[in-house]
Structure 1
Amino acid sequence: MSVPLSAAVTLGLLFFLSVGLNEQVAEGCTCVQRHPQQVFCVSDIVIRAKILGSVASARPDLVAYSIKVITTFKSPNKKNIRVLYSSKTSCGARPENGEYLLSGHLVDGVMVFGLCDLVWRWDQLSSVQKRNLNLYRTGCACEITSCTGASCLNTKHQRKCLVGVKNSISLGYEEALQAVCLPGRHGSCRWQK
């Protein structure tokens, strides 16, 4: 039994399209690896909070969590947040009860966070990372960018701190997690440890 050429081509195209769509769905919830300072700077809100548990949600597409704010590092207003939300989709974060460093965005007046935001257990942050949280806002004018090979040797990155191959101007990723990118003299940005 032979399959006509047009049917074979159609089946082949369907196969490749389904693989391609599967790949897109699988990658839909991946996040580009970013330095916590970058996440801090693009977030509307950054807090240290104790998650008390999930509660009934007033928004059917979101999971609601009751929280107690311990420290506010960044917020557009002085309103005390008591409930925050995460998406019910696979891209939503599912923290357990406990203390966290959380970042998120204001959506219709409520804080919403997801996998690409800071959802870090507070007890897993180093003392340096905790201290740097108070400095991140100062460095928001700087750009943290990855570099590879020769681009890590270029010293003309005035407003950038480089992450990649460790040398005199760039840091490896693990070392960068323990540093903050701050503006210095003459408008250039540098890593501070």
Structure 2
Amino acid sequence: MKLLYTVNSPYARKVRIVAAEKHIDVQLQEVVLSAPDCPVKDYNPLGKVPVLILADGDSLYDSRVIAEYFDNRTPLAHLIPKDNGAKSAVRRWEALADGVCDAAVAVMLEQRKPQPMQDAAFIDKQMDKVTRGLTVLNNDLGQNKWCVDDAFSLADIAVGCTLGYLGLRFSQVINLAEDYANLDRLQASLLQRQSFKDTLPVAN
């Protein structure tokens, strides 16, 4: 199997962490999405990473599909619970974390436009999603060590990847320690894991 990824994609980071936590051997191929010869569109018509190329040449996307595929490949340390209630809770955390990340990415892309072309109202709307989402994640975590049932899961991975992306792109406007202390504590715990250390985003 081969995983096409970019180093700062929080979605690709999510599946890289799942693969590491599950001890799944997968070949990693870093790509540049803007490059003319980028292979991503050959395997994902949406042109987005991550993309998992299977041994038979078929492909899987997006991150939620790939994460579940990895989790089902081996019974070792299930990151998506088999119990329906816990599974739904994990998926809800993942959906909210991904949604916060979607909004943050939208802001980043808008801010890359020349200043006169930027839509301030659009940026404000997306940042409102980010802050409201972080508030709910922070409050729902409370004083718990992990997001769901006191067990490390895909929920924690998804939240951790979102926090990593926000730290990379929005550290000047989002202060976890001051405004989202519970999430800051979770992030500190996650960064003790080798899978998170090995996949840290890179400032560019």
Give the structure-2-normalised TM-score. 0.22
Q: Please identify the structure whose Cα radius of gyration is greater.
A: 1
Answer 1 or 2: which has greater strand percent.
1
Give the structure-1-normalised TM-score. 0.23
Greater relative CO (CA pairs within 8 A, separation 6+):
2
Answer 1 or 2: which has greater helix percent.
2
